[in-house]
A and B are shown apart, each in its own frame.
Chain A
Amino acid sequence: MKFRGAEAIVETVEWNGQIVVSKVRNKRGYRHPSLEKRLVVERLRSESRIMERLLSRGISVPALYSVNISDNSLLMEYIDGSTLEKALREKDFKNHLVKTAELLTMIHSCNVVHGDPTTSNFLVTDKIHVIDFGLSSISEDDEDRASDLRVFLESLDSHHSEINGRDIFLSAYTKWAKSKPVLEALKVLELRGRYNLMRG
């Protein structure tokens, strides 16, 4: 497996006799070398710290094996599952949506916002795992949390318009004790022109 994103190259490699995932951030030739270095360290540090925080709270994220600042890479557990995007085309989609909403409330209750929780960033095995913390940050701001919800709902909308996933997902998210202000912030966010028109 090899995937070239905007931010990094993600591929499976062999490491100490097992298959693991390596994530190497692309070097940007247009950036001043010292700015490049600063950003690489900041982002690598933030991503690995957030993964560690979630792991230590028992949330299903890939285990982190190695963080290497000199070559700008992360090595982590390979999770052999299908993406939620694919899994939502199966019969069991309601259960998957509820489990994903629960997972997101757990992430949010650790004061982490994912930043990019699209249906491709969840993997389904016997449970649901969350991956790619490249855009994640530490925050307990309701609007940041609402923005996570919006990203997820938008990806449901664009890839899974055939299922009415929104209500199932949001009602499962609402079970979280701190969800009320988040859902209110979501309302405000969705009323903003840009996001309304983006749906178009």
Chain B
Amino acid sequence: MSTTILGIESTAHTAGVGIITSEGTILSNQRSVYIPEEGEGIHPREAANHHSEELPKLFKKALDEANLSSRDISLVSYARGPGLGPCLRTGATAARAFAYSNDIPLLGVNHCVAHLEIGLLEGAKDPVLLYLSGANTQVIAYAAGRYRVFGETIDIGIGNGLDKFAREAGMGFPGGPKLEKIAEGDELINLPYSVKGMDLAFSGLMTAAKQKLESGYSLGQLAYSVQETAFAMSCEVSERALAHTGKTELVLGGGVACNSRLREMAMTMASERGVKCFVPEKALCVDNGVMVAWLGHQMMNADYQITEEDNVVNQRYRTDMVEVTWR
């Protein structure tokens, strides 16, 4: 029997409500993004205020678009971490209110795992996930009962790094897409390339870029060079993870995976290695409620037993803390 699952996302900038059927048909994907004040980064409380104002509207919009009433929903799934405390609590509160008032089961899931699982909807079976977002930069693959982190950033997330550089250059949030637009030329400015085994570091790269900007290099050429360097590092570590695990599929996820140059590089790397590359559509790469709903469905479909702990938010809910019981 087909069921309908509603998912709530609120880990950082994005408030999202998505609805998907148990067959994987997306009925609605509503999102609203908190934009910080000019020249500032994310303020957790302000973002949470944004989410608490937007989420009720998003619920209504999603149900309207899907042409459903709240009684038609069989499971409410929300991202219980990792993320910013106030934002997570706002999403959890909205999820509880909606689930309890309509007598629907409620499940809190891991945000990073949701990014990976939505990639499986594209047809990948057992991939390596290159997950590049604001705060998260990880290379993840399944091994012995868990999604394991084979490599990750040892300082800042790639997206936060890009945003920060863009902010220093006078561009507002989100900075990554703005850098992509102004990136120009084909000449590379030398910047630190920091790969340690399967781990990455971005802060030195972004600081060097900022210094070069101050010393008079052109912003367009720097944006180009930052992208070339940071994305090559990301592709290299995912290549290592592919070689190490022997897996033959690569999935991209996270907001930075919307970048066309990154997509192009990942596809080149995959074809050189003879592996398949799956790139979800942009609306599913960025933070969204659909992926949260889909993961909730996967878990419940495999008779996952909800515990009390599953409905408590966890700011530091790591990918590899999740015991994968549904595959």
Contact = CB atoms under 8 A, between A and B. Distances in A.
B146 A115 contact: no
A129 B141 CA distance: 32
A1 interface: no
B105 interface: no
A31 B197 CA distance: 18
B232 A30 contact: yes
B148 A198 contact: yes
Q: Which label, helix, strand, loop or mixed, suits the secondary structure of the B interface? A: helix
A194 B149 contact: yes
Interface residues of B, number: 30
Contact of A32 (B146, B148, B188): B188
Interface string B262-275: 00111011001000
Contacts of A5: 243
Task: Give the contact-size bracket for chain A.
Answer: 20 to 34
Nearest to B242: A6
21 contacts: A6-B240, A7-B240, A26-B272, A28-B236, A29-B268, A30-B232, A30-B265, A30-B268, A30-B269, A32-B188, A35-B188, A35-B193, A38-B190, A115-B197, A116-B197, A193-B321, A194-B149, A194-B318, A197-B146, A197-B148, A200-B145
B64 to A, nearest CB: 42
A193 B321 CA distance: 9
Contacts of A70: none
Nearest to B261: A30
Contacts of B106: none
A41 interface: no
Interface in A1-32: 5-7, 26, 28-32
A32 B228 contact: yes
Interface string A69-98: 000000000000000000000000000000
B302 interface: no
Given A6-B243, A197-B320, A39 B272 contact: no
Nearest to A6: B243
A194 B320 contact: yes
A191 interface: no
Nearest to B232: A31
Contacts of B228: 31-32, 35
B44 to A, nearest CB: 23
B193 to A, nearest CB: 7
A135 interface: yes
A30 B229 CA distance: 11
B239 interface: yes
A197 B318 contact: yes
